[in-house]
Amino acid sequence: MAERRRLLIDCRRLQCADEHRCFVLEEHESRYLRKVLRLKQGAEVDVIDGRGHLWMARLRDGQQLELCTEIEEPSQSVISPLPKLGLAIALIRRGMDDVMRMACELGVDRLQPLDCQRSVPQAEHRPERWSSILQEAVEQCERLWAPELPALCSAAAWWQTPSQHDLRLIAVTREVESPPLSALLASQASVERSIWLSIGPEGGWSDQELAAARAAGWISVSLGDTILRSSTAAVAGVSSLSNWRTFRC
């Protein structure tokens, strides 16, 4: 099957299409289609809104796209997968871009950056860049639902933020009594509540953060016998969550 290029367009812009189902491309979108993909007038491209819908469209003149159907009649619609998967990760010095991209490709629904006590001063916080990375990842991996990227949250405020009905997990090291993440997931029935996994910074969680998380009802889990970099731990944990949802739910 021939590859079809995708473009993620905010649903509010799609609603502003004219009576001919056309809407104006932003400069970076037009440049991407014309200069990077080298699409000519009349070329087909798939448009997604990041909310479960896909439309077939045609490039008009390099500056406009024309939807092939009415906005109320998308070519494809899918329900958001359940349970929702969330990754909360402390700001880290290197690897955050890769975490964002790979977590999106693996199907994470929410990505929450955390400011932790042991986050180093050089830790990256680039929400605009991450939003761009997520958009590109959504288009590349053919997701129809784009992940949410909330604003930076302090770890102190984070433990009380998700619903108490969610399954809330915090990755720890050197704690033999903490169950492996895979074993804990295997014991879970299919659930519709959200599942959160929190990953700490390079220096690990502080004692105060661990105590506050446990007091709020978070469950400690292990990601293996070795000490993983934060970025590696995030991807390993998300892989387990994604596989569990795919094959168990």
pLDDT at 204 over 60: yes
Angle at CA 138, nearest 5°, toward 245 and 20? 125
CA within 13 Å, CB half, 66: 11
In this predicted model, what pLDDT tens digit does every residue of 105-134 receive, in sequence order?
A: 999 999 999 999 999 888 889 999 999 999
Q: Which pLDDT does position 113 carry in this prediction?
A: 98
Check if the beta carbon of residue 88 is closer than 8 Å to that of residue 112.
Answer: yes
Q: Which pLDDT does position 2 carry in this prediction?
A: 54
Task: Look over the chain and give the mean of its residue pLDDT values, rounded to a whole number.
Answer: 92
The pLDDT-based confidence of 189 (bands split at 50, 70, 90) is confident
pLDDT at 62 over 80: no
For residues 146 and 162, what is the distance between their CA atoms, to the nearest angstrom?
A: 19
Summarize the confidence of residues 14-22 as an average pLDDT: 85
Structural domains of the chain sorted by starting position, each given as residue range(s) with its CATH number in brackets: 6-77 (2.40.240.20), 85-248 (3.40.1280.10)
Entry pTM: 0.91
Q: Which pLDDT does position 18 carry in this prediction?
A: 83
Summarize the confidence of residues 15-22 as an average pLDDT: 84
Q: Where are the beta strands (DSSP E) in 147-214?
A: 153-154, 167-172, 195-199
